């Protein structure tokens, strides 16, 4: 049943679990100040235990926020209010003293696509309109969490205060959370995270799907100078699990700039060749470009093995020997469900059959899940209920699962999780891969000529837009470093920070590559089979890192030399000439589009070296 209202007594909230006096003075002050502000009825300090998790899930079930999926072990389905289904970029802001600390000043007063700035005064006003009394009648949960293995020198700690038990259950999957984190924190520094669904009790209007949210008032604000995140009005993961994009990318990228490391929207994979040699690679793709699929690749080349360190975020720092060491700061996968199948990602499918929270997928009458692209024929007589909680059939003309529906699942359940995925010192990165969804013009793979050229390639990334944010339709969008919605500070300074890595004494800089699995022929669909066959591209990169594979310089970078891509056993015919063709007119337009983007969006903050790399590309294209 829904939480019951009790009168707010003067002595503060009832303590349901934990002891305020055991918290460090800084954590206690943070909690007490926000108890005064938000006025919760009760307080629960999370310990991360199995018992606590079971109680939270039971409570969510009683409130009708989640439903047990009887076909699997300890799996649950949440259906959100249809107005609360994705990150809301238009309401996600960075608060700094000067606007230019957050975003470059666009040319001639245009609107920046590289983040949204809010002044401290505006934020104070917005918070005063939203947060006072926002948790009345509800429990405030105190979630101490570690991004990265507890105690790792690369890890950082946060404390999230939330009135959403769904957030508690999800944060337990996505982060290391509970007692051990408080012990590791001691009196140290932490990122302060405050979240409310913005629905104090008693409710002013009925909930949709028993899902509390307040879309009209949604605001997700980051205050990097204070190491603080505040989020109001949305229960959706990207807006409410504040360890994820908010901390691990927006706040962390700013900390990384100050401390000399990199916080990136990248998967990390380990790849072992048939003779047992292993390397680690990191890759940045925009949403819906097959990031999780690559992180959990099933190789079609015999003798190769791919293992997963992480599928979304990488924190990378050079060690004393000059190796770029990376950790996955997360503890789980928050993956897009549609398109995930036994064909596209068998390892993900094996990961999610227990201890998983699904959100906005469809449900089968046998207590299972369903979504577009699952490619599983349903048994006779099994029916589907859509994410909107209505009976569904394929004739309905709309998807059964929301395009941005998710699974939230523990990483250690992945059958190919890397043995070093929780290594405190991180894994050594030898290659960085950029990529996007480019139906035409961009070859399957090329290697950057240098670190500086590689930074330019990342800056010039473009891709067909996706469903993870509120953008509609298929349009080629600039998504530099796949970080466009996640920069924690001025993108021009971010590029300078990346370029500065080349000036580190003794740094072993990874090779940088660009891939495009999605090139289409005008007549015959995709030119490359993708999925498990992408190992053939990774194999070439692996050999390039070892100085073994052939390559030919081209206008855009080094392309695989004739016969250097291993196509043995490839099913079907692949037209390599078309896959690697470079059309001068296309690339002249690309140079123009990228140049225009740099001029209008990055403007005076574009580093000279990136501008020089664009000129060099233009020169090479004109020579084609």
CB-based burial, 14-47: b 16+ in 10 Å, e otherwise: eeebbeeeebeeebeebbeebbebbbbbbbbbbb
Burial 212-233 (b: 16+ CB within 10 A, else e): bbbbebbbbbbbbeebbbbbbb
**Which residues is 384 bridged to in the sheet?**
364, 392
Name the catalytic one among 289, 400, 408, 414. Answer: 289
Quote the CA–CA distance of 149 and 426 in Å, as a whole number: 10
Give the separation between CA 345 and CA 293, rounded to whole angstroms: 5
Q: Write the CB contacts of 456 (distance below 8 Å, at least 6 apart in sequence).
A: 448, 609, 610, 613, 614, 617
The total number of residues shown for the chain amounts to 624
Query: CA dihedral in degrees (136, 142, 148, 150; nearest 10)?
Result: 180
Alpha carbons within 13 A on the beta-carbon side of 590: 25
Whole-number Å distance between alpha carbons of 182 and 163: 20
- Nearest CA to 243 among 308, 292, 172, 183? 172
134 catalytic residue (yes or no): no
Neighbours of 412 (CB within 10 A): 12
How far is Cα 537 from Cα 540, in angstroms, rounded to an integer? 5
| Contacts for 528 with CB less than 8 Å, ≥ 6 apart | 444, 517, 519, 574, 579
Give the separation between CA 567 and CA 555, rounded to whole angstroms. 24
Looking only at the bridges linking them, the beta strands covering 228-232 and 262-264 are: unpaired
For residue 304, give every residue at least 6 positions away whose Cβ sits within 8 Å of its Cβ, in sequence order, or none: 271, 272, 273, 274, 535, 538, 539
CA 105, distance to chain mean position in Å, is 26
Exposed / middle / buried, residue 406 (Cβ in 10 Å: 0-12, 13-18, 19+):
buried
Spatial neighbors of 121 by CB under 8 A, at least 6 apart, are none
C-alpha to C-alpha distances, 414 to 15, 299, 427, 531, nearest whole angstrom: 37, 16, 18, 17
Q: First CA to last CA across the chain, in angstroms?
A: 69
Helix or strand (DSSP H, E) at 316: strand 314-318
Active site residues per annotation? 289
């Amino acid at each position: 049943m829904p939480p019951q209202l009790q009168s707010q007594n003067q002595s503060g909230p009832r303590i349901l679990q934990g002891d305020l006096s055991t918290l460090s003075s800084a954590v206690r002050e943070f909690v007490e100040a926000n108890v005064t502000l938000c006025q919760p009825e009760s307080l629960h300090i999370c310990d991360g235990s199995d018992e606590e998790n079971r109680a939270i899930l039971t409570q969510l079930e009683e409130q009708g926020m989640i439903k047990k999926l009887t076909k699997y072990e300890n799996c649950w389905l949440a259906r959100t209010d249809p107005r609360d289904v994705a990150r809301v970029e238009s309401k996600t802001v960075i608060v700094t003293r000067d606007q230019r600390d957050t975003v470059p000043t666009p040319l001639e007063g245009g609107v920046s696509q590289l983040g949204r700035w809010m002044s401290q005064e505006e934020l104070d006003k917005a918070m005063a309109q939203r947060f006072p009394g926002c948790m009345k009648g509800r429990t405030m949960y105190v979630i101490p969490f570690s991004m990265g293995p507890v105690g790792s020198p690369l890890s950082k700690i946060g404390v999230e205060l939330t009135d959403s038990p769904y957030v508690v259950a999800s944060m337990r999957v996505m982060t290391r959370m509970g007692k051990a984190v408080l012990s590791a924190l001691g009196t140290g520094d932490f990122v302060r995270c405050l979240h409310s669904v913005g629905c104090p009790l008693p409710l002013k209007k009925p909930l949709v799907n028993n899902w509390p949210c307040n879309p009209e008032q949604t605001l997700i604000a980051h205050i990097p100078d204070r190491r603080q995140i505040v989020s109001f009005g949305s229960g959706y993961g990207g807006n409410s699990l504040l360890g994820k994009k908010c901390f691990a990318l927006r706040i962390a990228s700013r900390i990384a700039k100050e401390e000399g490391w990199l916080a990136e929207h990248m998967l990390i994979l380990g790849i072992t060749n048939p003779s047992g040699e292993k390397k680690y690679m990191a890759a940045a793709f925009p949403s819906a470009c097959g990031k999780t699929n690559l992180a959990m690749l099933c190789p079609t080349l015999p003798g190769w093995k791919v293992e997963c360190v992480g599928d979304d975020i990488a924190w990378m720092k050079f060690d004393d020997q000059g190796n770029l060491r990376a950790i996955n700061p997360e503890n789980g996968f928050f993956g897009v469900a549609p398109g995930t199948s036994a064909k596209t990602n068998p390892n993900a499918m094996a990961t999610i059959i227990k201890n998983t929270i699904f959100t906005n997928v469809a449900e089968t009458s046998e207590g299972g899940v369903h979504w577009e692209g699952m490619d599983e024929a349903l048994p006779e007589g099994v029916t589907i209920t859509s994410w909107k909680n209505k009976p569904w059939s394929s004739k309905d003309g709309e998807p059964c699962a929301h395009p941005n529906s998710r699974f939230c699942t523990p990483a250690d359940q992945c059958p190919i999780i890397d043995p070093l995925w929780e290594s405190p010192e991180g894994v050594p990165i030898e290659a960085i891969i950029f990529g996007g969804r480019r139906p035409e013009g961009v070859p399957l793979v090329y290697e950057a000529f240098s670190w500086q050229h590689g930074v330019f390639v990342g800056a010039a990334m473009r891709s067909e837009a996706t469903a993870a944010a509120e953008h509609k339709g298929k349009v080629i969008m600039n998504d530099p470093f796949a970080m466009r919605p996640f920069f924690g500070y001025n993108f021009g300074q971010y590029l300078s920070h990346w370029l500065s890595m080349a000036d580190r004494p003794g740094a072993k800089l990874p090779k940088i590559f660009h891939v495009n699995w999605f090139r289409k022929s005008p007549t015959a669909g995709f030119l490359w089979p993708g999925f498990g066959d992408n190992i053939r591209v990774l194999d070439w990169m692996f050999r390039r890192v070892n100085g073994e594979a052939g390559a030919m310089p081209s206008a855009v970078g080094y392309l695989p030399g004739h016969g250097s891509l291993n196509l043995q056993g490839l099913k079907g015919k692949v037209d390599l000439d078309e896959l690697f063709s470079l059309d001068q007119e296309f690339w002249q337009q690309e140079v123009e589009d990228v140049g225009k983007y740099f001029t209008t969006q990055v403007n005076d903050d574009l580093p000279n070296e990136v501008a020089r790399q664009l000129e060099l590309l233009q020169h090479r294209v004109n020579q084609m």
